[in-house]
């Protein structure tokens, strides 16, 4: 899926939670969730990322049993309705990830970078599936209390390399490890901007890179926008910049707009590389 950069991949966000920061409560029934997955597939999503726990700033952890109750029926239904679509499980817990993979998911997205439940790495190796390792300073409950870095790009890069090495030692194949600098997860506004300005520093590590800037609060502050749903254009800008920097995967709420941004930026990048 990630070894060759044929074109950027779009991961559509499907939160089956009551309290996610942007779309909580919209897709809590299986029927609503499947319809949204179908809409995202039509709009150009390559992957659907299904999560049963909000990771917004200040959120509380959700027990594994409740996450499983929320996500497994949705994964089974989406896999049945859209058999060719890749499905990712958004969780930090190996118990949830295993139930999701058995239900039809084929990828793991771990916002703790494999530190929340180290067994998740061995699980990904056993199932031989890709895993996203994201950087976060602290937990969702506390991550925005007082984040601080001396030099955010270098520090995040170093931590992601350590997490990747741990994943390799757990038996995960190198080409199945995806790194995510964690925009908005324990970061100040300037930290997010610095990371976006230096995405190439993460691409240079040799692993596929994912960007998850969709509707993030720091862009609202820049644009004087309060509602996350009004940050579609701002998000598409980050997608285009990410494509030009070599990012391979984009996790977004608004698939159609970001598919267009990625496709145009990719055509420009290919034109530049062909000269």
Give the active site residues.
216, 251
| The two structure tokens encoding residue 195 | 């990371």
Residue 139 near residue 128 (C-beta atoms within 8 A): no
Q: By three-state DSSP, how is residue 255 classified?
A: helix
CB atoms within 10 A of CB 230: 13
Q: Which residue has the tokens 């150009």?
A: 44
Taking the mean position of all CA atoms in its chain, how far away is CA 251? 5
**Closest C-alpha among 149, 156, 119, 118 to residue 134:** 156
Ramachandran region, residue 166 (left: φ > 0; alpha: ψ -120 to 50; beta: rest): alpha
d(CA 84, CA 95): 25
Residue 234 has, within 13 A of its CA and on its CB side, a CA count of 22
């Amino acid at each position: 899926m990630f070894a060759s950069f044929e074109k950027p991949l779009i991961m559509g966000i499907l939160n089956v939670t009551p309290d996610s920061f942007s779309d909580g409560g919209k897709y809590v029934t299986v029927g609503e969730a499947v319809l949204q997955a179908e809409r995202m597939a039509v709009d150009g999503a390559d992957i659907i990322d299904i999560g049963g726990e909000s990771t917004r700033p200040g959120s509380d952890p959700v027990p594994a049993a409740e996450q499983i109750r929320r996500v497994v029926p949705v994964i089974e239904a989406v896999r049945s309705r859209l058999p060719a679509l890749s499905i990712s499980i958004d969780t930090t817990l190996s118990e949830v990830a295993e139930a999701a993979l058995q239900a039809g998911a084929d990828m793991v997205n771990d916002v703790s970078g494999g530190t929340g439940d180290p067994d998740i790495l061995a699980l990904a190796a056993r199932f031989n599936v890709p895993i996203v390792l994201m950087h976060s300073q602290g937990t969702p409950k506390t991550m925005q209390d007082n984040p601080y870095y001396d030099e955010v790009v270098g520090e995040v890069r170093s931590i992601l390399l350590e997490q990747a090495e741990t994943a390799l030692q757990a038996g995960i194949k190198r080409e199945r490890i995806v790194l995510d600098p964690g925009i908005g997860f324990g970061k100040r506004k300037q930290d997010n901007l610095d990371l976006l300005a230096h995405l190439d520093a993460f691409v240079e590590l040799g692993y596929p890179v994912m960007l998850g800037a969709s509707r993030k609060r720091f862009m609202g502050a820049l644009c004087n926008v309060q509602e996350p749903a009004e940050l579609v254009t701002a998000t598409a800008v980050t997608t285009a910049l990410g494509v030009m920097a070599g990012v391979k995967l984009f996790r977004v709420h608004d698939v159609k707009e970001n598919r267009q941004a990625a496709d145009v930026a990719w055509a420009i990048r290919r034109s530049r590389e062909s000269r």
